[in-house]
Structure 1
Amino acid sequence: MNSFAIDDRGNVLRYLDLYSGTNSCVPLLLVHGLGCASSSDYPLVVGSDSYSKRRSLLIDLMGAGFSDKPEDGKYDSDTQANVLSNLVASERFTQVNIFGHSAGAFIALKLAKCLPIPVGSVILCAPGLNDYGKAMLSEITSMTEAQFATVGFPQLLAQLKAAGGNDAWLGSFSVASPHAIYQWAKSALDDNAENWLEDFARLSSNKGVILPDTAASGEISQFEQAGCAVELVANTEHMMAYDNPDGLALAISNMLERGA
């Protein structure tokens, strides 16, 4: 696993850098959703026979997965996007593609806007917050960060485990920093309340959105009207990387090969 020191205190962002020596295509940065980790979500996707095998950086955001989790760290979406921008600069990339899932779509969008190099394609997967997500994040942020870290976080883990059907998410969620969960939840609610789709539509990059094939026609049309190509993945819900990794791999590859 690769590492990138984000500051002079030795705090480290970690990521998997795959296919770097086998494909000269523009690299793809994969940004996971809240409580997730790219090292957990995307190995089956980029390892699929349906994937284009381009250079792929599976990034665990600070506070998540294998990356460091300083208790006094800053984990809002702007800070996370800035860390990724510094990573891109350190790699001396001249162009990138960006993928962002769920609340990670906000970070992907902010990264695309702040990078000084061309961004070929921006692909958002189940972007934004649905009603379930907004309710959960509102519950998280109804208390103070200290309260959530000591009481709310273990209670939420217990609730998710008791509810069932969250096994894929619980692994990465349980090892995430509660401080990161709290701060990202707060900024995700703010990001979702803004008209982020207008920002997305204004990007000069190729734009794509990946949705479950059960998505409502109104949801599909709003993205098409914003100038986005739309791919639907069969037999999936929100966690597409686990529900149908081959289908998600094909959708990503199709968008990149035709320029989203």
Structure 2
Amino acid sequence: MNPCTIDDRGNVLRYFDLYSGTSTFAPLLFIHGLGCASSSDYPTVVGSDSYSKGRSLLIDLMGAGFSDKPEDGKYTSDAQANVLSNFAIGERFTQVNLFGHSAGAFIALKLAKCLSIQVRTLILCAPGLNDYGTAMLSEITSMTEAQFVSAGFSQLLAQLKAAGGNDAWLGPFSVASPYAIYQWARSALDDNAQNWLEDLARLNSTKGVILPDTATSDEITRFEQAGCTVELVANTEHMMAYDNPDGLALAISNLLKLDA
């Protein structure tokens, strides 16, 4: 993986940089959801025959995947967006595309707002928190950070394993920093409670949202009213990259072509 030192203490953000120099598309930065990692979620998506093969950076956020996990790190959505902003500027990108899944959509939206370079296309995949996610994050933040780190994190892993059906999520979740999970959980709840759709509507970029094809007409309409093109992916639930990687690859490619 590619390393990027993010501070004067030598902490490192790591990412895959794929298809460099093979496309006219601006680089697409993948921002994963809470407890996930781009290094595990998206290789099958960008490897699909349906994918556009534009330059793709599969980023493991700080505290997740292969990136560093300092115990005294800052892992709120604002802090993660700031790290990615510095990364994009440090890489001397002149323009980028952004993809954010689930709670990662909040980071992608904040990054799009604060970047000093052009964001051509913003793609949000199953953005925000559903009822299940809200309940889980509320349970996490019902305790203190110290309590979650010492016991809550291991208890949550045991609960997820016992519940079944979480295999795709358990891998990256189990190696994530409990400090990162807790801090991001708290900020994601705050982000979800804000009227972030207004920020999305005001953003002056090409905007797309990817949803399961079971999405209701009301869900679709609220994103269309925010100026987004909506792509639906069949046979998926929240973890689209695992449920239907080819369908997600096609949806991403279709949205990138809107600004081609």
The interval holding the TM-score normalised by the smaller chain is: over 0.9
Q: For 2:153 and 2:25, how far apart are their aligned partners in 1?
A: 41
CA drift of 1:63 comes to 0.1
The corresponding residue for 2:243 is: 243
Instruction: Deviation per CA, 1:144-181: give whole Å up to 9, x if none.
Output: 00100111000000000000000000000000000000
- The aligned counterpart of 1:117 is 117
Question: Is 1:57–2:57 an aligned residue pair?
Answer: yes
Separation in structure 2 between the aligned mates of residue 170 and residue 153 of structure 1, nearest angstrom? 12
- Deviation digits for residues 175-201 of structure 1 (CA, Å, limit 9, x no counterpart): 000000000000000000000010001
Distance in 2 between residues matched to 1:242 and 1:31, nearest whole Å: 16
1:186 equivalenced with 2:219 (yes/no): no
- Aligned residue identity for 1:124: L
**What residue number does 1:173 align with?**
173
Moved over 3 A (4+): none
CA contact (8 A) 2:124 2:210 kept: yes
Residues in 2 aligned to 1:218 and 1:57: alpha-carbon distance in whole angstroms = 32
Structure 1: state its 5+ residue gaps: none
**Equivalent-residue separation in structure 1 for 2:25 and 2:96 (angstroms):** 9
State the secondary structure of the residue aligned to 1:241: helix
Matches of 1:163 and 1:42 in 2, distance apart?
24
Tell me the SS of whatever aligns to 1:93: coil
The answer as to whether partners of 2:28 and 2:98 remain within 8 angstroms in 1 is yes
| TM-score w.r.t. length of structure 1 | 0.99
**Distance (whole Å) between structure 2 residues aligned to residue 248 and residue 77 of structure 1:** 24
2:206–2:258 contact (8 Å) kept in structure 1: no
Which AA in structure 2 matches 1:77? S
Equivalent position amino acid for 1:185 in 2: A
Deviation per CA, 1:207-254: give whole Å up to 9, x if none.
Answer: 100000001111011101111100000000000000000000000000
* Residue equivalent to 1:38: 38
List aligned pairs for 1:95-106, cutoff 5 A.
95-106=95-106
Q: Deviations over 1:66-124 (max 9, x none)?
A: 00000010000000000000100111000000000000000000000000011000000
Quick one: which amino acid aligns to residue 81 of structure 1?
Answer: A
Identity over aligned pairs, percent: 83
Deviation at 1:25, TM superposition (A): 2.0
Runs of 5+ in structure 2 lacking a partner? none
Cα distance in 2 for partners of 1:186, 1:75 equals 10
**Structure-to-structure mapping, 1:1-260, within 5 angstroms:** 1-259=1-259
